[in-house]
Structures are given as structure tokens and as C-alpha cells.
Amino acid sequence: MGPLIASDGIHEIDVTDVSTFMSPLSSVGSSVPAGERPVNRAHHMTGCGFPHPRIGGRHHSRVAPPQAPWSSVEDEEAEMALTTETVAAQGVARSMITRGVAALFALAVLAALGAAPALIIGFADRSDIHAFHGVEWGLLAGVLFAGSMIRLALRPTHSPAAVLTMLTVGVTFAAVSAATGVLDGQTLTPLVMAVVLAVAAGGPWLPTTFRPGALPMAALAVVAAAAGLMHAVTQMGYQTSRADEHAADLHYAGAAIIGIAIPLVAYLLSTRPGGYRVQAALVSVVAIVVGMASLLIDQVGALDTLPALGAIAWGGAFGAAAWIDGLRPTASGGERHV
């Protein structure tokens, strides 16, 4: 039978030689002469308990296996870099799609749906019985709705307030149309556009909390709701009870949508979503121009003098409150997204 070899994976040792593990003290009193005592190879053990590679006149070596070109750390770093590049590329693609769709929709609202011509013609021909309602439609669809689309096309990654504004207008449009019995494909178009742009823009665009952060803006929104809701109820009654040209063109429904949408958007903006100051400026323009048009255009739908002056004052106060609030630093000390 050959020798029994023990190995630690690198070195080997012949364990059949009992003398390998004998203590020096075991040779005391032995009859073997000192010069002929067996070599105690335990004296040559290394500090970690493994025999020296050259014990017993043998030298056992092993070739290290070839290493991969990258270590595991380098693999992880490369994978993270690739993931980052992929996410960045997807973000750029999403931004380009959002810009294109928002610009296309804005052009459609301004031109195809007649928001821009209605606003211009309403002031140019104030003798027309539809002049004031034309201005209202131009402000609602052209300034507030299409203006939010233009904002989204310019800054698709910092415009959750624009998405909220579009969704609020779209939902209000559909709800008022349903309540007055005029809901169809045309009156659902604003909501469909808003949902498409919300999906294209991605999230998050909903507020983390619906509690107002800017209290002056929230207070002004409550004031607008008190007056706007009464105006909306009156106009919705006209839409369902009258059979004139204004009812046929859904002018009363449009006036009701403004009375509901403006307070809702104003309150949502008080939660300070990204880009809320620009949207607040659009809301202010709508309120101020409605008041001015009521004073200049003496036609069906125009506000009386006192409510018209109140709309102008409210619009100026809301815009100023939003801009002043935006000048305050955030909790982290940074600036707010305009």
C-alpha cells in the first residue's frame, strides 16, 4: 500500500510517517541515538498550521486558474452604467414624444377647435351676440387648456401642474356635458387629449398631498368657488332650459365649465406641484380677461359690473400670491420649479 497523502488544496504531506507528528519530548529516554532520531517535521510547520512547501524534499505547486477579464465589482459597475444609460435614453425618448404630442394637440385646439379665432373675433366684433361667449371659449380652450399643452411641450419633465390643469379642465368639461345632456364625442375630446398627454408625460404628476401648501392661494380658491359654482349652476340651467342659439352652440355649458374649473385648478395649484406659478399665471389671465370682457362687451353671458371687477381683482391677487409664494425657498433650501 502506498503512502497516505494529506492535502490542504495547495500543499501535500505524507501522514503515514508517524514521526511527522511526534513531539520532541517523545524522544527523551529513547534508545535511538540522538543523531539518528527521526526528523520531526512539525518544527517546519508554518504559522498558519500548514507544512512548508519544501518539507520532505518535495515541492508541490499549483497553477492558478485563469481569471475573467473583469472582476465582479467591475461587472456590477458596468451593468449599473448600462442601466443608467438605458434609463436616460428612455427619458429622452419620452420627452421627445411628449413634446411632439403636446405641440400637435395645442395647435389642434387653437386652430381646428377655433379657440384663437374665437378670442380674437370676440374682441374685434363686440356687436356680435356671440362675442362674449367666443371670448370665454378662447380663454378656456386657448389660454388655459392649450396654454398648459404649450407649457408641457416646452418643459415636459417639470410640468405636473400643467398635466393637472388639463385633466381638471377635461374632467369638468365631460361632467358638465353629462349633467346638461350634451355629452358626445366632441365634448369628450378635451378629456381624451388630457389623458393621452398625462400618459405620455409619465409620473408622478399627482400631488403627494391635497392639503394646500400655499394658504393664500387656497383661500382665494375657496372665494372663487363660492362665486364660480353659483354662476355655473345658473349657466347649466340655461343650457338645459333654453332653446336659443347659445344653447345650441353649448355656450352656457362653456360658461359653467369656467365657473367650476377655475376654482378647482386654483386649489390644486395651492398644493405647489411643479410649474404651479406658470399655471397660476394662466388662471389669473383667464379671470382678468373675463372681467375686462364683461365690461367691454355688452352681450349675453357677460358679468355685471360688480362681479366683473371682482374677477379682475381676484385674478390679480391670485397671480401675485402664487408668484410671491414661489419666491420662498423649499424645505431643502432650493428654488421651486417655475
Quick: pLDDT tens for 173-187: 999 999 999 999 989
Closest alpha carbon to 147 in 169, 173, 125: 169
Mark whether 36 and 111 lie in a shared domain: no
Q: Is residue 75 part of a domain?
A: no
Closest alpha carbon to 119 in 101, 148, 102, 142: 142
pLDDT tens string 3-29: 555 555 555 555 555 455 444 444 444
Overall residue count recorded for the chain in this entry: 338
Mark whether 225 and 111 lie in a shared domain: yes
Phi and psi angles of residue 6, each rounded to the nearest 5 degrees, phi first: -105, 140
**Identity of residue 276:** Y
Q: Terminus-to-terminus CA distance in the chain, angstroms?
A: 89
**Would you state the pLDDT for residue 321?**
96
**Would you state the pLDDT for residue 42?**
44
Q: Which three cell numbers stand for residue 87?
A: 434609463
Mark whether 50 and 114 lie in a shared domain: no
CA-CA distance, 98 to 158, in Å (whole number)? 12
Burial class (CB in 10 A: 0-12, 13-18, 19+), 17: middle
**Would you state the pLDDT for residue 230?**
95
Q: Is residue 133 part of a domain?
A: yes
CA-CA distance, 92 to 338, in Å (whole number)? 21
CA-CA distance, 315 to 51, in Å (whole number)? 90
**Would you state the pLDDT for residue 228?**
95
Mark whether 40 and 116 lie in a shared domain: no
Q: Is residue 71 part of a domain?
A: no
Mark whether 243 and 115 lie in a shared domain: yes
Mark whether 123 and 213 lie in a shared domain: yes
SS3 118: helix
**Would you state the pLDDT for residue 226?**
95
Closest alpha carbon to 169 in 185, 152, 190: 190
Mark whether 292 and 245 lie in a shared domain: yes
**Which residue's entry shows cell 409664494?**
325
Mark whether 165 and 41 lie in a shared domain: no
Is the distance from CB of 31 to CB of 38 less than 8 angstroms? Answer: no
Q: Is residue 84 part of a domain?
A: no
Mark whether 242 and 120 lie in a shared domain: yes
Number of compact structural domains in the chain: 2
**Identity of residue 23:** S
Mark whether 23 and 107 lie in a shared domain: no
**Would you state the pLDDT for residue 47?**
43
Mark whether 203 and 320 lie in a shared domain: yes
Q: Is residue 304 part of a domain?
A: yes
Q: Which domain holds residue 241?
A: 96-327
Q: Is residue 78 part of a domain?
A: no
Closest alpha carbon to 151 in 267, 280, 328: 280
CA-CA distance, 312 to 294, in Å (whole number)? 10
Q: Is residue 177 part of a domain?
A: yes
Mark whether 164 and 246 lie in a shared domain: yes
Cross-strand bridge partners of residue 13: 6
Q: Is residue 119 part of a domain?
A: yes
Residues near 127 by beta carbon (within 8 Å), at least 6 away in sequence:
none
Is the distance from CB of 247 to CB of 239 less than 8 angstroms? Answer: yes
**Which residues of the chain fall below pLDDT 50?**
18, 21-61, 334
